[in-house]
């Protein structure tokens, strides 16, 4: 990490540590990407110095940081940001008609997965980095990491976890064959545009179909990651019995990251809010085992954890109901008031600040 003065910050800087106020409570959590409004927040709270990652959110090095100190200071998220930029170059090459270079992709993604597989909090924060303009690139790398992590928690072998991670990364490679006008459209898609987008799993499958380094399950996951257990998915509309287990894992990772990320025509949701929506709206559509692995291993709260609520208040988790784990009983730190989020449905957990 790099210690910098507030005046040196620019949009796209990534916080390496929580920014604490005078009460020692986090004003802005680590891994947040700095924006213009956040620069004003830091000024308002008279924050003079902060710790940032040596790389910006777009993968560029932080200005005035030499390469030697950058290499020495690298955190896992720096490797993630580098991988996103590598994916961007791959995607551009696919748009130009070049084939998938699985050797290069495997070298980057598996190395990154092995670095981050045990970093639960870092994986939980991946959505912070997805900007509207580079959503596709962040989404691909994040889905690969999350899918590999879920596979690991579900007891798959190391080799299978690697295959599932690669399937997650390559699931949207076929988006390179979709019209660039659609990919950059800032408004909701028309029916015709959405129908074209719905063909991207087929395009992706064709791009990986003859790659011997990917096994049968990984190739099916690329094709089936938008299929749903009740037959409501696409492109084939198959039901659970015909959907490969790898596909079901990638599907959960795909939905979760999409819901928690900022996109051109849709606002992001809190991870905890996204989990609620997935459990409610996707019941019968997504694998219950994969969703449970996401809730219990990635989103899993513990008593004593400090969280930020949607109303801006900080709270401590006191009790976690087994039937509604995203809505625990919390104690408001400033007032000591106990609040059941299962009862107070209009308030939810925005972010976990300290586990």
Mean pLDDT by 10 residues, the chain (355 residues): 86 86 74 85 87 81 57 68 95 97 97 92 82 90 98 97 98 96 86 95 98 98 98 96 98 95 72 86 90 85 87 91 88 93 91 73
Is 243 found in the same domain as 136?
Answer: yes
Is 245 found in the same domain as 124?
Answer: yes
Structure tokens at 43: 């000024």
Rg (CA), the chain: 20
Predicted local confidence at residue 36, as pLDDT: 84
Is 268 found in the same domain as 200?
Answer: yes
* Domain contains 210: yes
Give the C-alpha separation, 61 to 79, whole Å. Answer: 12
- Residue ending a domain, choose from 28, 62, 96: 62
Predicted local confidence at residue 64, as pLDDT: 61
- How many structural domains are present in the chain? 3
Is 333 found in the same domain as 246?
Answer: no
CATH number (domain holding residue 284) = 1.10.3210.10
* Domain contains 69: no
Cα atoms in the Cβ-side hemisphere of radius 13 Å centred on 190:
4
Predicted local confidence at residue 12, as pLDDT: 86
Predicted local confidence at residue 73, as pLDDT: 47
Q: Which of 218, 11, 204, 195 is nearest to 90 (CA)?
A: 204
* Domain contains 11: yes
DSSP structure class, residue 298: I
Q: Which domain holds residue 227?
A: 76-298
Is 339 found in the same domain as 243?
Answer: no
CA dist list (Å): 158 to 19, 140, 150, 208: 37, 20, 12, 21
How does strand 338-340 pair with strand 329-332?
A: antiparallel
Is 315 found in the same domain as 283?
Answer: no
* Domain contains 331: yes
Is 345 found in the same domain as 207?
Answer: no
pTM: 0.80
Predicted local confidence at residue 122, as pLDDT: 83
Predicted local confidence at residue 352, as pLDDT: 80
- Residue ending a domain, choose from 39, 62, 85: 62
Is 194 found in the same domain as 49?
Answer: no
| φ, ψ for residue 47, nearest 5 deg | -80, 120
Is 270 found in the same domain as 153?
Answer: yes
* Domain contains 71: no
Predicted local confidence at residue 72, as pLDDT: 41
* Domain contains 332: yes
Predicted local confidence at residue 270, as pLDDT: 84
Is 137 found in the same domain as 285?
Answer: yes
- Residue ending a domain, choose from 40, 62, 84: 62
* Domain contains 349: yes
* Domain contains 67: no
Is 95 found in the same domain as 122?
Answer: yes
Is 231 found in the same domain as 147?
Answer: yes
């Amino acid at each position: 990490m790099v210690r910098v003065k507030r005046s040196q910050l620019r949009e796209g800087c990534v916080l390496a540590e929580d920014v604490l106020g005078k009460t020692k409570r986090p004003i802005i959590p680590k891994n947040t990407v700095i924006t213009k409004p956040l620069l004003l927040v830091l000024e308002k709270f008279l924050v003079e110095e902060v710790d940032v990652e040596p790389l910006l959110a777009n993968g560029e090095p932080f200005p005035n940081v030499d390469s030697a100190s950058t290499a020495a200071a690298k955190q896992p998220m720096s490797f993630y940001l580098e991988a996103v930029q590598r994916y961007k170059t791959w995607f551009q090459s696919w748009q130009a008609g070049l084939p998938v270079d699985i050797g290069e992709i495997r070298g980057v993604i598996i190395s990154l997965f092995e670095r981050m597989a045990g970093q639960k909090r870092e994986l939980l924060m991946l959505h912070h980095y997805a900007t509207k303009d580079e959503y596709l690139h962040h989404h691909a790398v994040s889905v690969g990491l999350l899918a590999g992590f879920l596979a690991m928690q579900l007891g798959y072998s190391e080799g299978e976890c690697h295959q599932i991670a690669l399937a997650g990364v390559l699931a949207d490679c076929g988006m390179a064959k979709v019209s660039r006008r659609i990919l950059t459209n800032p408004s909701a898609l028309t029916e015709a545009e959405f129908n074209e987008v719905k063909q991207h799993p087929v395009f992706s499958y064709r791009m990986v179909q003859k790659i011997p380094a990917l096994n049968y399950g990984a190739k099916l996951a690329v094709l089936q990651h938008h299929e749903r257990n009740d037959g409501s998915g696409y492109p084939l509309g198959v039901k659970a019995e015909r959907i490969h287990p790898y596909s079901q894992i990638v599907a959960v990772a795909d939905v979760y990251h999409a819901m928690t990320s900022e996109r051109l025509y849709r606002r992001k949701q809190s991870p905890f809010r996204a989990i609620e929506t997935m459990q409610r709206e996707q019941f019968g559509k997504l694998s219950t085992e994969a969703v449970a692995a996401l809730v219990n291993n990635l989103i899993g709260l513990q008593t004593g954890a400090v969280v930020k609520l949607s109303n801006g208040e900080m709270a401590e988790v006191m009790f976690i109901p087994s039937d509604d784990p995203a809505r625990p009983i919390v104690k408001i730190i400033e007032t000591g008031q106990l609040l059941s989020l299962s009862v107070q449905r209009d308030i939810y957990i925005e972010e976990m600040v300290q586990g």
